[in-house]
Amino acid sequence: MPTLTIHTDSGTQQFVSVSSQPLSRILDDVGMPVRTGCRGIGACGLCLVRIVAGDAGVPQPNESVFLDDDHLTQGTRLACQVVPEHDLEIEILSPAPKSTWRRLAHERGRHLPFPLNTLPPNVTTPYGVAIDLGTTHISLSLHNLATGAWVAGRYGQNPQANVGSDVVTRLMVAMESPAQAHALSQTVIDAICEALWDLVIRDGINLQHVVRLTLVGNTAMLALLSGRNFDLLLQPSHWTHAIDCAPLNTAAWVTAWGLHPQAQIDVAPVLAGFVGSDLLAGVIATKLTEGQGGSLLIDFGTNSEIALWDGAVLWSTSAAGGPAFEGSSIHCGMPAEAGAIYQVTMQADHMEYAVIGGGQSHGICGSGLVDLIACLIQSGTLTATGKFAPMIPSQGFTIVHGEQSIRVPRTDIDAFQRAKAAIGVGIQVLLDQAGLQVDDLQRICVGGAFGHSLNIRNAQDIGLLPNVPSARVELCGNTALAGCEEALLSPALRECMRQLSKQARIINLSQCPDFDVLFLENLYLQPMQVV
């Protein structure tokens, strides 16, 4: 692959670029976006870069509309019209304003268009937005409702994490006073507003054309957003019952977000106390209940949710996974974005790692942490109980040495063990309730932050996934957002979600009499012991 060297006011960085992608998209992916107002079709002339060295190919016809001969002679080009096929050295002439929101990739096919007769009239290009409100991240996906085509997407941090990384802490803060509850709600409203306006600035979207917005999330996040019934989540008697998280005044959100005045906002109903509409959306996206049975969905996240379809009943539960799966709250953790170590392999006498974007490593994401732990176990550097060998210093294992060293201390291993143990208990209890064995699992759908980078064999070796043939394991990415997109574009799926909730049985793991024993068994970094 070609190497891309980028000069900015803050210095020079080098990345391995992805061939057959426009330079503007590559720059977005590595977190150094250029200005744009046309979604990369060469119609705005804003994404100016200068070719310092290398072959950028011949200028495209529409570049001549914005660039004269002097500009072209000096190496000025439109980033959206340059597709690097060879090593390239560039200078960004028109950087986009700094943003905490990253461009969201989209790999799913075209959806069917929305029935336009139900939309407000006189909107030439009607848009719809699907939102997955997670504990750690917020993801948005924008669609053209007239064609069903995906247009753009964003993801970023949920700012409530500044109050607490887990849902229980946030709920307790909200319970302390109405003012604090309102502040938690407002931070998410403001964050969604920022993400939407990032679409305006970087993709030229007119928010007045957004006429539908569908939102899914775990129960705690939706309750805190709407400001309703979040107190019930701290009462165990409500954990297995549906909780009404529907907002009472979405008109205020329409105004705050600058949408079309008649925009419809739909907050999908949740299943139970800690099993939200994000899990239902994932069940829809994976078509989990369309088979004969033996299908398992694990939506990894800070609040991990698990669903098991036995052919007649949808068994569901949640587990306090913690943010380790999403690369948060660990020493050198980061989301799966440019600069993150996402893959680690064991060679004869050393480890090798791969970095998203191919540049300098800045941290390690969830899939990279899984690989690293598996390699440490394989080499004898880490024991099944999570203890380092005597030769490893007390600060932990260093995977990258240098000025920006990346080190994984014992506390990170412990956080991962606890997260995976909670998942293991959830899987074991659901299988037991359904009367199934591991061998009965025909599908295991992996959703959440791992995306498409998880090494299935490594995950099984350390007990994160059940031991089944790897062909039965599907890496599905953000299933919650995928299902939310389907619900956005197909009103009939709202009824489908209601029917699924009737088929669901919620299991409260805290009421499992063997929970402590099962949790301790699943702490070991070894293949999952599920019978």
Do 213 and 196 form a contact (C-beta atoms < 8 A)?
no
pLDDT of residue 106: 75
CA distances from 500 to 422, 503, 505 (A): 25, 5, 10
| Domains held by the chain: number | 3
Same domain, 175 and 318: no
pLDDT, average across residues 126-142: 95
- H/E stretch holding 194 reads helix 178-203
**What φ, ψ does residue 261 adopt, rounded to 5°?**
-55, -25
Strand order in the sheet with 264-267: 102-103, 150-157, 137-144, 127-133, 210-217, 264-267
- Same domain? 83 vs 121: no
Residue 331 is predicted with a pLDDT of: 80
Q: What is the phi/psi pair of residue 346, to 5°? A: -95, 120
* DSSP letter assigned to residue 272: B
CA separation (Å) from 111 to 103, 139, 228, 487? 20, 18, 33, 11
Residue 338, pLDDT score: 79
Residue 21, SS3 per DSSP:
coil
- Identify the pLDDT of residue 202: 82
Which pLDDT does position 497 carry in this prediction? Answer: 83
Confidence band for 325, pLDDT divided at 50, 70 and 90: confident
Helix axes 277-286, 479-489, angle to 10 degrees: 80
Work out the number of other CB atoms within 10 angstroms of the CB of residue 164. Answer: 15
Instruction: Kindly state the tokens that stand for 482.
Output: 């995928």
- Give the residue-averaged pLDDT of 14-25: 80
Query: What is residue 107's predicted lDDT score, i.e. its pLDDT?
Result: 61
What is the rounded distance in angstroms from the CA atom of residue 132 to the CA atom of residue 202? 21
Instruction: Quote the CA–CA distance of 207 and 205 in Å, as a whole number.
Output: 6
Residue 19 main-chain phi, psi, to 5 deg:
-65, 160
Whether residue 446 is found in the same domain as residue 352? yes
Establish if 275 belongs to a structural domain.
no
Q: Are residues 357 and 443 in the same domain?
A: yes
Distance of alpha carbon 218 from alpha carbon 303, whole angstroms:
8
Q: What is the pLDDT of residue 350?
A: 81
Q: Output 315 or 164, whichever has higher pLDDT.
A: 315
87 and 110 co-located in one domain: no
pLDDT for position 323: 67
**pLDDT tens digit string along 408-443?**
999 899 989 999 999 999 999 999 999 999 999 999
**CATH number, domain at 158?**
3.30.420.480
Q: Is 518 helix (H, G, I), strand (E, B) or coil?
A: helix
Q: Summarize the confidence of residues 488-496 as an average pLDDT.
A: 85
Q: pLDDT tier at 530 (50, 70, 90 boundaries)?
A: low
- 330: confidence class by pLDDT, cuts 50, 70, 90: confident
Pair (110, 83) in one structural domain: no
Together in a domain, 467 and 488:
yes
Within-domain flag for 282: no
Structure tokens at 449: 């932050």
Please report the pLDDT score of residue 139 as a whole number.
95
Give 328's pLDDT tier (boundaries 50, 70, 90): low
pLDDT confidence of residue 19: 66
DSSP string, 223-264: HHHHTSSGGGGGSGGGTTS------S-HHHHHHHHT--TT-E
Q: Predicted confidence band at 166 (pLDDT cuts at 50, 70, 90)?
A: confident
| Residue 274 forms part of a structural domain | no
Within this chain, do residues 203 and 291 fall inside the same structural domain, yes or no?
no
Question: Tell me, what CATH number does 11's domain have?
Answer: 3.10.20.30
Contact 303, 218 (CB under 8 A): yes
State the Cα–Cα distance between residues 1 and 119, nearest whole angstrom. Answer: 46
Side chain identity at 290, as an amino acid letter?
Answer: E
CB atoms within 10 A of CB 451: 20
* 504: nearest Cα among 276, 332, 180: 276
pLDDT of residue 100: 84
Backbone angles phi, psi at 39, to 5 degrees: 60, 35
Could you tell me where the DSSP H helices lie in 435-512? 456-461, 479-489, 492-503
List the structure tokens of 269: 């109903």
Same domain, 395 and 469: yes
Q: Among residues of the chain, what percentage have pLDDT more than 70? A: 97
Residue 38 has pLDDT above 80, yes or no: no
Let me know: does 16 contact 102? Beta carbons within 8 Å: no
Give the separation between CA 349 and CA 339, rounded to whole angstroms. 25
Q: Sign of the C-alpha dihedral, residues 507, 133, 493, 297?
A: negative
Query: Computed over its alpha carbons, how large is the radius of gyration of the chain?
Result: 24
Highest mean pLDDT, choosing among 19-33, 99-113, 454-468: 454-468
Read off the pLDDT of residues 365-384 as tens digits, 9 standing for 90 and up: 889 999 999 999 999 999 99
Q: For residues 238-244, give the mean pLDDT.
A: 88
Kindly report the three-state secondary structure assignment for every residue of 53-68: EECCCCCCHHHHHCCC
**Structural domain of 400:** 287-531
Question: For the chain, how are helix, strand and coil distributed in percent, rounded to 5?
Answer: 35, 25, 40
Stronger pLDDT, 468 or 351, i.e. the higher one = 468
Per the domain annotation, does 163 fall within a domain? yes
What's the pLDDT tens digit per position in 46-79?
899 999 999 999 999 989 899 999 999 999 999 9
Average pLDDT, the chain: 89
Q: Which helix (H) or strand (E) holds 167?
A: helix 167-176
Q: How far apart are CA 505 and CA 81, in angstroms?
A: 52
The structure tokens listed for 75 are 């190496």
Domain-embedded: residue 72: yes
Same domain, 163 and 220: yes
Structure tokens at 395: 């600060």
DSSP character at residue 288: G
Mean pLDDT, rounded, for 250-269: 95
CA distance 404 to 407: 10
Which of 33-42, 153-162, 197-206 has the weakest average pLDDT?
Answer: 33-42
* Residue 336 one-letter amino acid: A
pTM: 0.86
Provide the pLDDT for residue 531: 57
> Which of 92, 125, 156 is a domain's end point?
92
Is residue 85 domain-shared with residue 134, that is, in the same domain? no
Q: Report the half-sphere exposure of 465 (CA within 13 A, side-chain side).
A: 30
Same domain, 336 and 292: yes
From 34, 61, 92, give the residue that closes a domain: 92
Q: Please give the residue that has the higher pLDDT: either 138 or 94.
A: 138
77 phi and psi, to 5 degrees?
Answer: -140, 165
Domain boundary among 92, 117, 133: 92
| Secondary structure of residue 308 in the 3-state scheme | strand
Q: What is the pLDDT of residue 291?
A: 83
Q: Report pLDDT for 102.
A: 87
